[in-house]
Amino acid sequence: MEILSGIFGTLDAITWGWALIPILVVVGLYFTLMTGLVQFRFFGRMFRQASPAHNEARSGGISGWQALMVSVGGRVGGGNLAGVAAAMVLGGPGAVFWMWAIAIVGMATSLVECTLAQTFKRSTPDGLFRGGPAHYIRHGLGHHYQWLVMVYAVCLFASFGLGFNAFQGNTVSAAIHDSFGAPHLATGLVLGAITAWIVFGGLRRIAKVADLIVPVMCVAYLGCALVVIGMNLDRIPEAMATIVNNAFGWQEAVSGGMGAAIAAGLKRGLFSNEAGLGSAPNVAATADVKHPVSQGITQAFSVFIDTILICSCTAFIIILGDVYKPAGDVTGIALLQQSLAAHLGAWAQYFLTIIVFLFAFSSIIYNYYLGETAVLELSDSPIAITVARVLVIGCVVLGASAPQVTSVFFFSDPMMGVLAIVNLMVIVSLLPVVLRLLRDYREQLRSGKTQPEFDAARFPDLDVDRSVWK
């Protein structure tokens, strides 16, 4: 075990320690420039494109709206609550500014990877679609890169399917135990039973559940934050000045100043919105849309929701309170709980527990789908899918009922790092395809079409599934 821990520790240092975050930033800036500032040009369209009215699917399919809800449910998790609080303690208020910055850059990255996922998706016998990095490696780069598909699939299943689901189970269990005193085992069994009911119902049930709970949890949390902001409206200019001044080192809040703010903010932003990590494209590919770029735009909006909206809610609840101390002892979910209680009263702790449950649970079903997608790349046997489902449910129960066991999943972050490196290499290589699709999309908009449609015959050199775009 010590040998494995050392290997994965080294892998984590190579990826997240010093290489991956700068690469993600540089790639995001590159995509922003090469696409002509696409996240700004299509910003208004993101709101229209994300609405249910613009995302109707064919009978029995997954709509663009449902794919967005699954994606938002996956991106929005405990990291938007406890993670933001921890980043502000480590990096000071300026960390928030750098979270915003990486989200804006990440919107372009998400659009690129999710457009590719849509382009190279395949139809399945049950009338649904599947795709993602494994598909755009195989059909975009070529079948001789199948070995890279295998590397990607193993890393995806190990990190999201197993490790991160154990951590999400732990988050739910800890919050419920602290607020209501419920035993960890009881929470784990209940959570495992609900998870089993959903995952054994397949993608359609996952989409329906996400469509139900994600809007509720986001609106509830946004509403709570708006109440806090409204109560402290006169302090907003001061809070914004504090964030900006600390972000650029003009007002040092923690040791390390601007450097600490950048490091904490970028890492938290990237972990939260997942842009470029190669996870969200798997969900984006399931949507039944008329043009690949349409879902790329929608998924860029998902990054906006996750970081600019939800993470900012957490930041303002904390910074407008009197509990927060940069480099202080109170951090994580405890800092958010105490800050919210200081604004709204003791009942807010119970409200936050419900929000934590919804955030973490939406991430669990999202993580499961990623794990299932990975398994299908390794084996299409029904037995393999059943085993994968049982393993995922087991990890959820284990993480919730025995929190200390989560230390066993030390491989999760390093394998997500490898996942991201693989995905970034591929999407940079396939950027010319995305630029062609963007030109096609823009030309149709200029011609007067409100909803551009993808004509596969105009791209004969691309290995796309023609039946998908009829």
What digits encode the pLDDT tens for the residues 399-416?
888 877 777 778 888 899
Exposure of 345 by Cβ count < 10 A (0-12 exposed, 13-18 middle, 19+ buried)?
Answer: exposed
Instruction: Report, as ranges of residue numbers, the positions in the chain whose pLDDT lies below 50.
Output: none
3-state SS track over 112-129: HHHHHHHHCCEECCCCCE
Predicted TM-score (pTM) of this structure: 0.93
Kindly list the structural domains of the chain, giving each domain's residue range(s) and its CATH number in brackets, ordered by start: 2-469 (1.20.1740)
Length of the chain equals: 470
- Residue 243 CA to residue 87 CA, distance in Å, equals 13
Amino acid at 170: N
Residue 266 is predicted with a pLDDT of 87
Q: Identify the pLDDT of residue 119.
A: 97
CB atoms within 10 A of CB 89: 23
Torsion of CA 454, 434, 42, 81, to 10 degrees: 120
At a CB cut-off of 8 Å and minimum separation 6, what does 444 contact?
Answer: 291, 452, 453
The two structure tokens encoding residue 18: 């010093």
Cα pseudo-dihedral 324, 330, 331, 333, rounded to 10: -100
Tokens read off for 69: 């809800």
pLDDT at 52: 67
121: left (phi over 0), alpha (psi -120 to 50) or beta: beta
In single-letter form, the type of residue at position 421 comes to I
- Which amino acid is located at 442 in the chain? R
